[in-house]
A = this chain, B = another copy of it.
Amino acid sequence: MSIRIGIYGYGNLGRGVENAIRQNSDMELVAVFTRRDPNSIKINTAGASVFHADELPKMTDKIDVLILCGGSAKDLPIQTPEMAKLYNVVDSFDTHAKIPQHFDNVDKAAKVGNKVAVISVGWDPGMFSVNRMYAETILPDGESYTFWGKGVSQGHSDAIRKIEGVLDAKQYTIPVEKALEKVRNGENPKLSTREKHTRECFVVAEDGADKERIEREIKTMPDYFADYDTTVHFITKEELIRDHSGIPHGGFVIRSGKTGENLENNHIIEYSLKLDSNPEFTSSVIVAYARAAYRMNKNGDSGCKTVFDIAPALLSPKTNEELRKNLL
């Protein structure tokens, strides 16, 4: 029998999850839940339904895992604890600073419901976190580095769009190659914010807008751009659509550490991602952890989990025998 999946929220991430389910033959999409008018939503999966979110409490016997595809700022802090009382859930909560509090809220709810709730799944937090942890544990004497990009930062693009005279914009975060090289050489450099990443902005301005002012406002924007070397390109709406419609991302987690009687030997562990579609890759990770949530709950487990708490084998559709034979 397939693992029956529900999706709550049908934006980029929800659509990515829908596609990822199709790539996993042991899963099926049962329903998409939305706060919009269900009739306004057209999904891609024959046989699956679209319901208003109000129907969620009534579907608990039809769905094994509910995947929460809302945003970290406003949706998930409410939805994940609420839903963890009713369903095994997976979310991609990514506000790093608020993870401990989110964990506690979700843990309480999931234990009330006897469900498994996996939070903060994706690539960062997610696969990058797992790799930071493995690497730091294996090489206790060393330094860890995370670089992001080249990729689109939604938050930074939004920040540019709010500037007067800007019609649309895309911002790319780019790791500094020289910094990456120093890290890979085992030099364990201390790197400032400016030394790690640059920011490149493609901006569509209103006709007659003061481009110099826009560029200045971008480059001096606190938190978002002021601490970085930022490049601004003004392009046309058509160029933006033609050349910058994708949502690529990725990055690098690197640990450089020493071993030996006198710590004379150096080792570099590097994990990197090069993603054509940030939301689709995130979705693919989420779907694998949905399988794990289902299995853990079936084995009697409950409460909130993160990628740290879940044995790798629980993610795979393969049996333990197959994994040992073919992948070990």
Contact = CB atoms under 8 A, between A and B. Distances in A.
A265 B321 CA distance: 31
Nearest to A184: B274
A324 interface: yes
Interface string A31-60: 000000000000010000000000000000
Contacts of A157: none
A267 interface: yes
Q: Considering residues A19, A96, A260, which has the most beta carbons from chain B within 10 angstroms of its beta carbon? A: A260
Contacts of A315: 133-134, 137
B23 A259 contact: yes
A261 B44 contact: yes
A146 to B, nearest CB: 10
Given A16-B259, A138-B285, A328 B129 contact: yes
The interface centre, meaning the residue of A129, A267, A269, A275 with most chain B CB atoms within 10 A of its CB, is A267
B100 A321 contact: yes
A265 B281 CA distance: 9
A311 interface: yes
Interface in A253-299: 259-261, 265-277, 280-281, 283-285, 288
A313 B280 contact: no
Contacts of A325: 99-100
Given A16-B259, A130-B312, A328-B307, A274 B268 contact: yes
Contacts of A96: 328
Given A313-B308, A316-B136, A276 B266 contact: yes
Contacts of A138: 127, 281, 284-285, 288
A20 B285 CA distance: 33
B281 A259 contact: yes
Contacts of A137: 288, 315-317
Nearest to A16: B259
A273 B184 CA distance: 10
Contacts of A267: 273-277, 280-281, 284
A275 B288 CA distance: 31
Contacts of A120: 328
Contacts of A133: 312-313, 315-316, 323, 327
A220 interface: no
A139 interface: yes
A313 B271 CA distance: 18
A306 interface: yes
B99 A259 contact: no
Given A129-B328, A259-B280, A277-B259, A307 B312 contact: yes
A277 B103 CA distance: 39
Contact of A99 (B19, B131, B328): B328
A199 interface: no
A132 interface: yes
7 contacts: A19-B259, A127-B134, A139-B284, A259-B280, A270-B273, A271-B272, A306-B328
